[in-house]
Amino acid sequence: MKKVLITGAAGFLGSHLCDRFINEGYHVLGMDNLITGDLKNIEHLFKLKNFEFYNHDVSKFVHVPGELDYILHFASPASPIDYLKIPIQTLKVGSLGTHNLLGLAKEKNARILIASTSEVYGDPLVHPQTEDYYGNVNTIGPRGVYDEAKRFQESITMAYHTYHKIETRIVRIFNTYGPRMRLNDGRVVPAFIGQALRGEDLTVFGDGSQTRSFCYVDDLIEGIYQLLFSDYVYPVNIGNPNEITIRDFAEEIIKLTGTDQKVIYKPLPVNDPLQRQPDITRAREILGWQPKIGRSEGMKNTLEYFKGLSKEELYRSEHKDFSSYS
């Protein structure tokens, strides 16, 4: 049985990856320090013989016993309000954490896939974003800790590939949504759905003319799975090119939830990218991958998930206490 280590296993994407690799017959080692992850996302896996969980911060030396075939590095805070609350940890997991996992990959002769992001393009001056675009990032802005850690992550991953000849893969993930997103992580999908379900007005930042392109989680996981088993070492965008303004997206959520909430406008956060849309030509050509699930189907599934939360969960303002992490 092949063994795979998934970091960020209790998070949104990490937990879906654990499910996928379990379903494909792998032995899965899930690792998470639970700083932004939640064990609830993987509690259904604990009874399985081919799943093990390590509560560990990958910014510190990582050891796992025995052989290892694959590593998927998905540990990181992933939302702008988290970067503000835990900027140092965000920098560390993308840089030191990646270094540790590349070292582990070298030691175990394992193939490693690292989760990069559309944030490497910053507030992009090229639209849609192709992998060749170098980006427009403010190093010292509020998102800089995430963006620059991820840019460093790509550099060190390529360096390990060229210098140490280890097998590496880099996925640049665009906005993704679906079940298990953290309700209060501040990102727009859970924010709007939570507001609609609580009967609150939907908060659009700026005038809402900024765009995003939302990919359903199952499509994303499929793209990542295919990339891991491809021969391609350079970064690949995975996302859904269907672009929408945030203002129109708010209206869509109001329609979908059948509520009569209003949209209210709040200031646009600093360095909030004005437009974002993946060019997925490379993924199409190299992997034969493209998204299959449209926003109406994906959002319906996502809404069902959030409707299943308890009242207490829906009204809890923030269940994460970051104060004890260093």
Given the rule CB under 6 A, which residues bind ligand UDP?
A: 79-80, 175, 186-188, 191, 203-205, 210, 212, 246, 269, 272
Catalytic residue, chosen from 83, 121, 146, 216, is 146
- What residues have CB less than 8 Å from 176, skipping those under 6 apart? 12, 13, 214, 215, 216, 217, 220, 239
Min separation Cβ 249 and ligand UDP, Å: 8
Nearest alpha carbon to residue 278 among 112, 74, 120: 120
Nearer to ligand UDP, 100 or 129 (CB): 129
In sign, the C-alpha dihedral spanning 291, 297, 300, 304 is negative
Helix (H, G, I), strand (E, B) or coil at 246: helix
Min separation Cβ 210 and ligand UDP, Å: 4
Nearest alpha carbon to residue 133 among 116, 118, 144, 115: 118
Min separation Cβ 105 and ligand UDP, Å: 28
The answer to whether the CB of 114 falls within 8 A of the CB of 73 is yes
Task: Give the single-character DSSP code of 319.
Answer: -
Nearer to ligand UDP, 197 or 204 (CB): 204
Amino acid identity at 232: Y
Going from the C-alpha of 161 to that of each of 156, 167, 169, 210, the distances in angstroms are 8, 6, 9, 36
Min separation Cβ 246 and ligand UDP, Å: 5
Q: How far apart are CA 29 and CA 49, in angstroms?
A: 11
Nearer to ligand UDP, 113 or 191 (CB): 191
Active-site residue 146, yes or no? yes
- Which stretches of the chain are DSSP H helices? 12-23, 80-85, 87-108, 144-164, 188-198, 217-228, 246-257, 281-287, 295-307, 311-315
The answer to whether the CB of 175 falls within 8 A of the CB of 68 is no
Specify the residue for token string 């190299």.
286
Q: How far apart are CA 183 and CA 165, in angstroms?
A: 41
The answer to whether the CB of 72 falls within 8 A of the CB of 13 is no
Min separation Cβ 253 and ligand UDP, Å: 11
Min separation Cβ 152 and ligand UDP, Å: 19
Q: Which are the catalytic amino acids?
A: 146
